[in-house]
Chain A
Amino acid sequence: MPLNFNSFVAMKFGVVIFPGSNCDEDVIYVLQEIMQQEVVRLWHKDHDLQGADFIILPGGFSFGDYLRSGAIARFSPIMQEVIQFAAKGGYVMGICNGFQILAEAGLVPGALLHNETRKFICRNVHLKVETTNSLITSALDPSKALKIPVAHGEGNYFADEDTLKKLNDNDQILFRYCDEGGNVKSESNLNGSVQNIAGVCNESRTVFGMMPHPERAADSLLANQDGLGIFESILKVAHA
């Protein structure tokens, strides 16, 4: 289906670049070249969000992630601004390392532990869309499993019982790992995540974190555009 750019709400995206970020240019490519949106690059040492409407923390290995993924990045100058922005209800999305940083900063509940296999895993996985009641999933079809790649060593989502109950009760779970047919099974849980959780949002539904990389499944050249719907959702695309 061709994108109808007239129906987009134009947004200014801010993509944060930490030392060691390596998916920053990939997400910028999708936003700029495919979604035709304005993007500003936000350097970790700066204190200025440059008027962005939507902040993205991209994937990578911020500060090398030698200690614990995201543990150092959350203290960087730009993150202090991002935390304030989120507190005021601003939209923030973290992908992979970005999700880890959001969890470290307490902007989304839970933590990302080492994969159960203790190995880095890079491959396509399937995701079940658990809710359309969020900005990044609003235009998705929950009956269809999305094929989106993961690439992480620490993607094993963990939250305690109370938090899990709240996440479920408040409809904060965005994605779960599933099989091709959309069935959430233990065999499709590649990294040991509790309840197969692959993505969550905060209670006020303005901060989103997910381990899979939708920007790696958005370009027709890669023969998989299952991730595009997430970016379309953000821009509230009306399909013609």
Chain B
Amino acid sequence: MENTQLATPETAKELGLLPEEFSRIKEILGRTPNFTELSIFSVMWSEHCSYKNSITWLKTLPKDGPRMLAKAGEENAGMVDLGDGIACVFKIESHNHPSALEPYQGAATGVGGINRDIFTMGARPIAQLNSLRFGDLSLDRTKWLVKGVVKGIGDYGNAFGIPTVGGELFFDECYNVNPLVNAMSAGIVKVGETVSATSYGVGNPVYIVGSATGKDGIHGAAFASKDITADSVNDLPAVQVGDPFQEKLLLEATLEVIQTGAVVGMQDMGAAGIICSNSEMSAKGEHGMRIDLDKVPMRQENMKPYEILLSESQERMLIVVEKGREEEVQAVFDKWDLNCVEIGQVTDTKRLEYYMNGELVADVPADDLVLGGGAPVYKREYREPAYYKEYQKFSIESVQEPEDLKAVAQHLLSHPNIASKRWVTQQYDSMVGTATMTTNRPCDAAVVSLKGTEKAIVLTVDCNSRYVNADPEKGCMIAVAEAARNITCAGGEPVAITNCLNFGNPYVPEVYWQFVGAIKGMGAACTKFETPVTGGNVSFYNQSTDDGPVFPTPTIGMLGVLDNVDDMMTADFKAEGDFIYLVGESVNDIASSQYLASFHKVAASPAPHFDLETEYATHQVIKQLIKERLIASAHDVADGGLFVTLFESANPNNLGFDIESDDSIRKDAFLFGEAQGRIVVSVKPENQEAFVELMATSETEFNYLGTVTNGSMLVDREQFGNIQDFKPVYDDVLHSILEE
């Protein structure tokens, strides 16, 4: 295809554009676009870049707050004020589609991309997390995906040198075809030393720095904007290849070049490559650019203009430099042995003009390409799926309580969704940076100290997609609440979230209904917890022709702050004889629990019990207990229910528990139900009186469960076994499945 040949409606269709979108492009240009221009529009107007099917709803989310320095949509990532002149920049992003085809590179480049979003703003990444979802672990393909994704994340993150401090891992057959790979990064920057993704100042030079540009990842953004089919294998060139060593150099060089003060604006090259950074920076700065594509350092010969523009080669940045200060910038990149090439200049035309060997090959207005400018915005229709009402009809009475609850405990502790994730986590360097306070202290959230201050940031990623599937609105509220609960149990104050919205095909009304419900739930919960949504990413089309959509999975990445590291709280029981209490209400509920789903194999049930107001009040009580030093541990009741929570608190120090159940509810619901808003705390005998006094004055329900033992696990005086007996199973389940 010649660069300047006029495009046809057929070509537009092939590039994924709707007929009305093609007409709109002709209107914007006042003529028929050539192939290069059409390619530009097709990627910039793809779902991945334009958020065309989600932005209407995303705009309803709360985004303001006293700590917000960069709100959703303003920069590459959200920025939150931590006090003392320090800010945290954080974001989560998906790399689902590439990981489904090439798990190793797909996951690795996901890590690379999210970190570039952080350091392109001038922040140094200090912690990474990830949220992974795969299909049935007994399938060979799932094992291949798990191994590849984990190795990809590890190899990239470890060499890049930023610790991976937390994450989640969940298996369900709905992810058999479409695994979800969501990567999060958080960085720290001094307030006032950040850089914006903007471009202005006529005549200022435009530089491309970092790796050379190749044909990898062309149309990656468009690839991420369609369902996965048997033909997806033909999209393999749409998967990029990562080089963590280049990324490390780029990080150091980028932070160093910012210190020169010569940088006007900067943006990393991720989805849709050069064209995306050119257009977004130009639109933001209300200027244009004239770019000579032949000056771009290339990995291979004979690259076409559209290939150069759309390439998603990794580890590259676009930098607009103040004219006259080119040498300072060049010196930094020379020091780090990185490419640094002037490819064009800023103009006042507000247009992007691309030349190849002196010939104009594309001329498009910057603003019309981008979200918030001329990119299309759609309101999609949505419809409640039939299953929703069916699920609501579930009653606990329809499930017979098993006689042998020990068998249930064994089933849960050896289930891959519950068991230790160390097979995964030990492949990640979780300690580099020597700030991970949770290495030697088990905790509901990751706590990373900010050296030179008394503060720490507290991070978690959470989403139980089974709940969201059962009830998108309530399920997504729970995801936010669980994240806040984890941060609170670590001693932190929740301050903001980033989200990764993984859904099926938005053109399916039932899928879009899930999306709308989740956004409503997220908005309500984030308003209640005063945690504004700072941005994130939407990943639609996690859907296959045969298996339908994945569970709606709005992953919540939450940032908390711990003003004084001495207030950190841990999840492990400390000593035999300490008292164990349950803060929050026991409910006769097993809906959507791991127990119901995998032991009884019942899928049709609503989301578990949850009340936003009660949940919020409970968190405030926990904060008070921590501040007044009245509890020795705090661990929330989540997947697997109370028994699993007790096990997880007892396990680290080889302790056990001796508890009484509540005879007003079924024992299986008491032990394995997943009613929300509950936290297990342990209390030293000398603090019991003060603890009870504080709790009694609060509105929050609490119950005495029992005491910490030296290893045996007893419920109503019935022996459930010794912690030592369960440990090998719990620790090695993933290893035995994946290394068989």
Contact = CB atoms under 8 A, between A and B. Distances in A.
- Would you call the interface of chain B mostly helix, strand, loop, or mixed? loop
A52 B429 CA distance: 30
B620 interface: no
A106 interface: no
B434 A64 contact: no
Nearest to B456: A221
A222 interface: yes
Interface stretch (B65-73, B243-251, B292-300, B459-467): B243-251
A161 B441 CA distance: 41
B244 A124 contact: no
Interface in B234-293: 243-246, 248-249
A66 B426 contact: no
A223 interface: yes
A64 B245 contact: yes
Interface in B416-431: 422, 425-431
Interface in A46-99: 59-61, 63-66
A72 B434 CA distance: 26
Contacts of B155: 120
B457 to A, nearest CB: 14
Nearest to B155: A120
Interface in A201-220: 213, 215-216, 218-219
A181 interface: no
Interface stretch (A20-28, A133-141, A167-175, A231-239): A20-28
A22 B440 contact: no
Contact of B249 (A19, A60, A120, A224): A19
A158 interface: no
A223 B426 contact: no
A23 B433 CA distance: 7
13 contacts: A19-B249, A20-B248, A22-B159, A63-B245, A64-B246, A65-B159, A120-B158, A151-B429, A213-B431, A216-B432, A218-B434, A222-B437, A223-B437
Interface string B428-461: 1111111111011100000001010000000000
A80 B151 CA distance: 34
Contacts of A63: 245
B434 A26 contact: yes
A26 B439 CA distance: 15
B652 to A, nearest CB: 12
A218 to B, nearest CB: 8
A153 B451 CA distance: 28
B609 to A, nearest CB: 36
Contacts of B449: 221
Contacts of B431: 122, 149, 151, 213, 216
B348 interface: no
A185 interface: no
A29 interface: yes
Contacts of A25: 433
A113 to B, nearest CB: 17
A61 B432 contact: no
Contacts of B427: 119-122
A122 B249 contact: no
Contacts of B425: 122
Nearest to A66: B245
A215 B441 CA distance: 18
Contacts of B336: 19
A221 to B, nearest CB: 6
Nearest to B252: A19
A224 B439 contact: yes
Interface in A126-164: 149, 151, 153
Nearest to A22: B161
A237 to B, nearest CB: 20
B151 to A, nearest CB: 8
A147 to B, nearest CB: 9
B159 A61 contact: yes
B494 to A, nearest CB: 22
A124 B442 CA distance: 14
A120 B154 contact: yes
B585 to A, nearest CB: 34
Given A19-B248, A61-B158, A221 B426 contact: no
Contacts of A218: 434
A50 B241 CA distance: 40
A59 B449 CA distance: 21
A19 B337 contact: yes
A29 B434 contact: yes
A152 B245 CA distance: 16
B114 interface: no
List 6 tightest A-B contacts by C-beta distance, closest first. A22-B161, A64-B245, A223-B440, A61-B159, A26-B434, A151-B429
B565 interface: yes
Contacts of A124: 439-440
Contacts of B429: 120, 122, 151
Contacts of B430: 122
Classify chain A's interface size: 20 to 34
A223 B441 contact: yes
Contact of B158 (A30, A66, A149, A151): A151
Given A29-B451, A149-B439, A151-B429, A61 B434 contact: no
Given A29-B451, A61-B158, A224-B439, A22 B248 contact: yes
A220 B181 CA distance: 35
Given A64-B243, A151-B429, A222 B434 contact: yes
Nearest to A17: B252
A64 B159 contact: yes
A59 B440 CA distance: 21
A219 B434 contact: yes
A165 interface: no
B541 to A, nearest CB: 32
B159 A20 contact: yes
B440 A60 contact: no
Interface in A1-59: 19-20, 22-23, 25-26, 29-30, 59
A121 B426 contact: yes
A123 interface: yes
Give the residue among A22, A59, A123 with the most B Cβ atoms within 10 A.
A22
B338 to A, nearest CB: 10
Nearest to B440: A223
Given A219-B434, A223-B439, 4 more contacts: A60-B161, A61-B161, A122-B427, A216-B439
B244 A64 contact: yes
A42 to B, nearest CB: 14
A43 to B, nearest CB: 8
Contacts of B243: 64
A218 B158 CA distance: 21
B245 A122 contact: no
B248 A222 contact: no
A61 to B, nearest CB: 4
B209 to A, nearest CB: 15
A221 B565 contact: yes
A84 to B, nearest CB: 25
Contacts of A151: 158, 429, 431-432
Nearest to A223: B440
Interface in B86-136: none
B440 A224 contact: yes
A221 B434 CA distance: 9
Contacts of B437: 221-223
Contacts of A60: 161
Nearest to A62: B245
A150 B449 CA distance: 20
Give the residue among B155, B427, B432 with the most A Cβ atoms within 10 A.
B432
Nearest to A19: B249
B245 A61 contact: yes
